[in-house]
Amino acid sequence: MAEESVPLTFEDQFAEAFAPATADINATYVIISGVFVFLMQAGFCMLTAGSVRARNARGIILKNLMDTCVAALVYFLLGWGLAGLLIGDGNSFIGTSQFALGGLDPTMLYNWFFQFCFAAAACTIVSGALAERATFVSYILYSVLIIGFVYPVVTHWVWSPSGWASAFRSEQADGTFRSLLFGCGAYDFAGSGAVHMVGGVAAFAGAALLGPRMGRFDANGKPVPIPGHNVALAVLGTFILWFGWYGFNPGSTLMVMNGTSAIVARVCVTTTLGGAAGGIMTLFTHVLIQYKTTGKVVWDVMVAANGALAGLVAITAPCATVEPWAAIIIGMCGAWVYLGGSYLNSHILKIDDPVDAIAVHGWAGIWGVLANGLFATEGFVAQTYGTMPGTEDGVRLYGGFYGGGGKLFAAQLVYVLAIIGWVGGLMGMFFFALKMAGLFRVSAEVEAEGCDTSHYGGSVYHGLTPETGAGATAPASKGVFPSKGDAASSSSDSDELERLKAEVADLSSKVDALAKAGTSTV
């Protein structure tokens, strides 16, 4: 006797009828979010171009463009398969299928587009730290390595259901569920670790082995400011990046239907507050440092811009799992981490980073991952990651400040150390090999003249001198931690100022002569 079918409820009928529309809306949402993230490439490009000297701007723009092109091809061929994000294939370390998108459901192609934009962002972070002295060949080669191997492995760890650090508990063949790191896995919702730390650690390894720009440190090892040539471009890049973050973080829900709209809304709020708190705290802290160091009060827009970016980086991992007030605290602390990291890099480790990418993305990224272990709430963790399968109560671990114990923080710390070891070790060996092969750094002659003239077809500003001559704009920041001696302009700036004064005096004398001649005629 055939079993009697149970009639569907109205809610079930409604859900079944609108299932295709729900899938389409979710896909459209992820695609639009991906477009936002893609636009961040323009933000990185403008920020970096404005932060370097005019004689190197054209080359860095080309490198950012090629970053996008390389990312698309390499992530298509290798990166997506090694990441193994959708089906959780492979082992706990790496994915093993869907290379060149083979076997990927055509209705899921939008996920590749979104993840490609993330991969491109991770790679672009490195370019700024190596600006003005790295070769174009080295940039292409390390872009292939990061996008094709280094970055996908980290994303597999944390975002694939089979990754060893993942918070997603996949069911095994015998019906049991895979055990999680410290019983919870690492929470890195949008990539403070997987994206920003990967870029920041790779930038650290590259900048340390590449060495500083000529003239960056004096004979005593004291940092000498080398300001960028265009503050307006750099700040425009900052705003474009912040705009793109509204695809980067909210888009990481990968859907907007199925009850996730509340998460999306919360992520938008925490992202905004984290960036705002970072910018404000960095600016005012820097003013105090300036006043104590030089006796002057300077409101430095470039420092504030980097502080806002540091706040955004810090909130990227915990954006879905923390309260809005906690986002402000995380952003403020991100500002201090950025300032401390910048000082450590330039004054103690003697690492030259023209755009402070290491401090903004590396150091602030570390703080963002760890902050989740402190501030993640029980309710938001459950809403974001779901209940824990294979357990009686389904409760997931949450932040230590809410009574969740220390296991989540331990998982976050192990995840941070793993990224540092993996990315730092692999990229360090690769950059060292490039250095030994003579492929890493341009010659001293090219660096002194400017890479644009030698390798990239001339100045980005047609008809203008490649440095601080006619048409140059106001210089960027003199440095996050200036000393009293930094208040004086560089010798080249002084020479240029004297030349301009002489021209003005000559023009003034000619005007006076013409005026006297006119008076005599009358």
pLDDT of 378 reads: 95
Say yes or no to pLDDT of 472 above 90. Answer: no
What pTM, to 2 d.p., does this model score?
0.87
Looking at residue 490, its pLDDT comes to 45
Q: For residue 90, what pLDDT is reported?
A: 81
Portion of the chain with pLDDT greater than 90, in percent: 74
**Cα–Cα distance list, 200 to 116, 373, 470 (Å):** 18, 21, 35
CA distance 408 to 381: 11
> Which of 267, 258, 266 has the alpha carbon at shortest distance from 19?
258
Residue 276 corresponds to which tokens in the numbers above?
């705002």
pLDDT, tens digit, 9 for 90 and up, residues 9-27:
655 555 565 667 888 999 9
pLDDT, position 386: 87
Q: Which amino acid does the sequence have at 236?
A: L
What's the pLDDT band for 513 if we cut at 50, 70, 90?
low
Of the chain, the percentage scoring pLDDT greater than 70 comes to: 83
Q: What angle do CA 269, 273, 277 make, to 5 degrees?
A: 175
Task: Give the angle subtended at the CA of 142 by the CAs of 140 and 147, to the nearest 5°.
Answer: 95
pLDDT at 470 over 80: no
294-331 per-residue burial string, b: 16 or more CB within 10 A, e: under 16 = beeeeebbbbbbbbbbbbbbbbbbbbbbbbeebbbbbb
pLDDT in tens, 36-62: 999 999 999 999 999 999 999 999 999
Give the integer Cα–Cα distance in Å for 141 and 139.
5
Which tokens hold the place of 272?
A: 């905004």
Q: How many residues does the chain have?
A: 522
Q: How confident is the model at residue 473 (pLDDT cuts 50, 70, 90)?
A: very low
Predicted pLDDT of residue 20: 75
pLDDT tens track for 476-507: 444 566 554 454 444 455 555 566 666 666 66
Instruction: Find how far residue 189's CA is from the centre of its chain.
Output: 15
8 Å CB contact between 351 and 405: no
Report d(CA 511, CA 379) in Å as an integer. 75
Which pLDDT score, from 0 to 100, does residue 461 have? 87
Whether residue 299 contacts residue 287, with contact meaning beta carbons closer than 8 Å, is answered with yes
pLDDT exceeds cutoff 80 at 371 = yes
Structure tokens at 23: 């899938």
Q: What local confidence, expressed as pLDDT, does residue 31 receive?
A: 98
pLDDT per residue as tens digits for the range 92-140: 999 999 999 999 999 999 999 999 999 999 999 999 999 999 999 999 9
Q: What is the DSSP letter of 217?
A: B
Q: Identity (one letter) of the amino acid at 358?
A: I
In the chain the first and final C-alpha atoms are separated, in Å, by 123
For residue 395, the model assigns a pLDDT of 83
| pLDDT tens digits for range 68-91 | 999 999 999 999 999 999 876 788
Confidence (pLDDT) at 112? 97
Q: DSSP H helical segments within 178-260, as ranges? A: 198-210, 231-248
Does 418 have pLDDT greater than 50?
Answer: yes
The pLDDT tens digits for 163-200 are 999 998 766 666 667 789 999 999 999 999 999 999 99
- To the nearest whole number, what is the mean pLDDT of the chain? 88
Give the burial class of 248: count Cβ atoms within 10 A of its Cβ; 0-12 exposed, 13-18 middle, 19 or more buried.
buried
Tokens encoding 94: 């790496």
